[in-house]
Structure 1
């Protein structure tokens, strides 16, 4: 533990949600935004959100559509709706304060096991297993001796993480942050910087000669030409408008009518877009 935590103390990035005055709401917003989105893209949007909505109650007072609008081009915009729903629940059920307890966090709309553990650990210094992609990759290499973890988190991974988790709450919280940072900065997916790793000498994968991945194919994330791209273009038009948008204006964003209609229907089904009479569409209110 000490090797990794000492490395973290020296090399950790100065991120706004890690600062002593950040607060639990800043941590929660960051955790929603960082899911499948790199830090560099999250930083400016996180700052804008906290400036506009410094407390959960501030966001809860706005319409869900404003959350979607402010989400910008972070991608996976359903996260904006979930964060708005969580903020509303916090304002209505928790006196406007992000809950301390894992069970209460987990009960919030849109908050899963990982996010509940991360907020409890990073915001309140609680002892929880925090397993994101970076941590899973570090444990896969250092402990298990394989290049990549399974595509989905397994019970075996949780057992490994639990066995490694320090008993002391404060140390456990530092360990969670440190292993995540190690995966992000050193033990990268494509080009691990083993020479900079504080536990390279104990890494089972490296000691085995860094064998190539021989498990199931890793999932790629294509974007060009997908429904995700079409959805993004449709939402961009709606975000830029202060009022309802005619369908004719949305029809200009993508050349293929069947895919365009499917993408728009999906946005409506997900609650990201509201259809109105007269072939008009808007962000949810």
Structure 2
């Protein structure tokens, strides 16, 4: 009988050790706080945009206590153009909780991490694995895509995380903690650099020879539509434009200033301004002007 093939992780880990990017939050000396900050910033944001902001943040706020001590407006301003600025507020809220409830140390278990504001299942698993070296299952979009192709034989996974994704990912994690830590970052890196959504470079993939999707002739995706993220003219663009006006001045701004910044649709501007206030990203003042949040 032919010998059982090696697990996927053997070839993927070997590829990663040769080709993985040298990122500061992946170094052995990176603290759990540095890893946590990177994971929040990297959500739906490319590495190239994150790295310079990450470096600036860690220089200003090297520990949770440093970040917890500043105002919400400071963190929104420092977040810059990373997008989804509510992440900045949630990160600060997590820092406050870590400082007050965990002695300033990032928790070591997924259960404890999940009690922090803004920390979901993926982030908790990633921090436990990458910062503390624990064996766990880390599933992001890249992991789902690689395993959907290599194991499931389909071009793309379902639009949202489902049972099949979890089962495939869980089955592939090596038993050894050190191997598991490498695998979790390696399979993400493979999806980011090689097994990409639109133009996979199968010839550069270390597991092309055993990929179920390649073996099936690379069939096109026929599942539910994956919605792209539009930008021009959307509420996201409007909110970002209004927030940029507030970030770029140290003083409160008038409604007229915000109206000049967004001239496409006045009702949209008012709706987006209301949503920014509701999200805690903008603070309306008694004199009718607006500012970044100053409260605790």
Report TM bin, short chain. over 0.9
1:262 counterpart = 2:257: no
CA distance in 1, matches of 2:98, 2:23: 24
Runs (5+) with no aligned partner, structure 1 = none
Q: Which of residues 274, 287, 291 is equivalent to 1:278?
A: 287
Q: SS state of the match for residue 284, structure 2?
A: strand
Q: Which of residues 184, 201, 226 is equivalent to 2:234?
A: 226
Name the TM-score, length of structure 2 as normaliser. 0.95
Alignment of 1:131-280 (within 5 A): 131-255=139-263, 256-280=265-289
Alpha-carbon shift at residue 229 of structure 1 (Å): 0.5
1:101 counterpart = 2:109: yes
Alpha-carbon shift at residue 243 of structure 1 (Å): 2.2
Q: SS state of the match for residue 97, structure 1?
A: coil
1:28 counterpart = 2:51: no
Q: SS state of the match for residue 144, structure 1?
A: coil
CA distance in 2, matches of 1:137, 1:118: 17
CA distance in 1, matches of 2:22, 2:227: 30
Q: SS state of the match for residue 175, structure 1?
A: helix
Alpha-carbon shift at residue 282 of structure 1 (Å): 0.8
Alignment of 1:30-49 (within 5 A): 30-49=38-57
Residue aligning to 2:10: 2
Residue aligning to 2:133: 125
CA distance in 1, matches of 2:73, 2:152: 45
Two-structure CA RMSD over aligned residues (Å)? 0.8
4+ runs of 1 displaced by more than 3 Å?
Answer: none
CA distance in 2, matches of 1:14, 1:164: 24
The Cα offsets for residues 176-208 of structure 1, whole Å up to 9 and x where unpaired, read as 011001101110111111111110011000000
Q: Which of residues 78, 85, 92 is equivalent to 1:77?
A: 85
Runs (5+) with no aligned partner, structure 2 = 1-8
Alpha-carbon shift at residue 219 of structure 1 (Å): 1.1
CA distance in 2, matches of 1:163, 1:189: 23
Residue aligning to 1:54: 62
